[in-house]
Amino acid sequence: MSIIQLERVSRHFGVQAPIHALREVSLDVESGEWVAIVGPSGSGKTTLLNILGLLDRPTSGTYWLSDRDVSSLSEGARAGVRSREIGFVFQSFHLISHRTVTENVMMSDIYRGGDRSTRRLRAVQALERAKLSHRSDYLPVRLSGGERQRAAVARAILNSPRLLLCDEPTGNLDTATGNNILDLFEEMHDDGMTIVMITHDPEVAARSQRQVHIIDGHLTEAA
C-alpha cells in the first residue's frame, strides 16, 4: 500500500523568468519503505521534501498521502495532517537550549495539543527508543552532536507518525556518529516505520532500502 503518491508534481518560484525547482515529479513510496532521495545542492531535493511534509504546495500535479489528496488542503488542515501523520528530523537539530531533553521532546506534543496526561510518559518512551533516556534531564548544550540528533529523532517519533522525513540527518555529524544515527533509522525501519531521507552523500543513501536521484528538478529511479 502506498503512503506517498506524487503525480507529475512541479514547483515553480516566481512569475517572470520562473525558477523550476521540480519538473513533473512522480514518486510512489510504499508503507514501511526507507527511501533516500539523492542529489547535489540546488537539485530540488529540499523543495521535494517540503512538499512531502506539507510545508509547501506544488505549483501543479497531485500529492496523495495515505490515499488522501492533500494538494489543495487549507493551511489549517495541512497543519493537522502534519501533526498527526508526519515526523521531521532536520540537519540542525532545532533544540531549545534552555529546555531539558525531555522537555524538548514534549514540545512537539504541546504544539499539537496532544494528551497532557500521557505526554511525559510518551516522551520517556521515545527517548528510550532513541537510546537517549540516560540524558533525559540534560540541557542540549551538554550533549554531543549525535546525542542532539537522537533527541531530535525522539521528538519526531513522539506521536508515532506514519511517515518520518529526514533532511540531511547526518550532515552535521562525523562518520561514526552518523552511522550510529543510521543504525537507529534501520531499527525503526525494521519495526515498520516509513522513512524518506534526503542526502547528497551516496554512502548515507546506501543504507536505505531504495534510492531515487534528483538533478535539476528531475527525479529518476537509481539504477
Tell me how far CA of residue 89 lies from CA of 58, 84, 151, 223, in angstroms: 22, 15, 10, 27
Instruction: Show me where the domains of the chain are located.
Output: 2-221
Q: What is the pLDDT of residues 13-58, one digit of tens each?
A: 987 778 899 999 999 999 999 999 999 988 999 999 999 999 999 9
Q: Which three cell numbers mark 27?
A: 514518486
Q: What is the pLDDT of residues 129-139, one digit of tens each?
A: 999 999 999 99
What is the edge-to-edge ordering of all strands in the sheet holding 60-65? 19-30, 2-13, 60-65, 68-69
More confident residue, 80 or 100: 100
Longest dimension (CA), the chain: 54
Place of cell 509547501: 56
Q: Taking the complete model, does pTM exceed 0.85, yes or no? A: yes
Residue type, 181: I
223 pLDDT above the threshold of 70: no
Position 222 scores a pLDDT of 65
215 pLDDT above the threshold of 90: yes
Enter the CATH code of domain 2-221.
Answer: 3.40.50.300
Average pLDDT rounded to a whole number, residues 5-9: 96
Position 63 scores a pLDDT of 97
Average pLDDT rounded to a whole number, residues 50-70: 95
Q: What is the pLDDT of residues 147-173, one digit of tens each?
A: 999 999 999 999 889 999 999 999 989
Tell me how far CA of residue 200 lies from CA of 36, 46, 64, 99, 137, in angstroms: 10, 11, 26, 32, 34
Name every residue whose Cβ is closer than 8 Å to that of residue 30 and which is 6 or more positions away in sequence.
1, 2, 3, 194
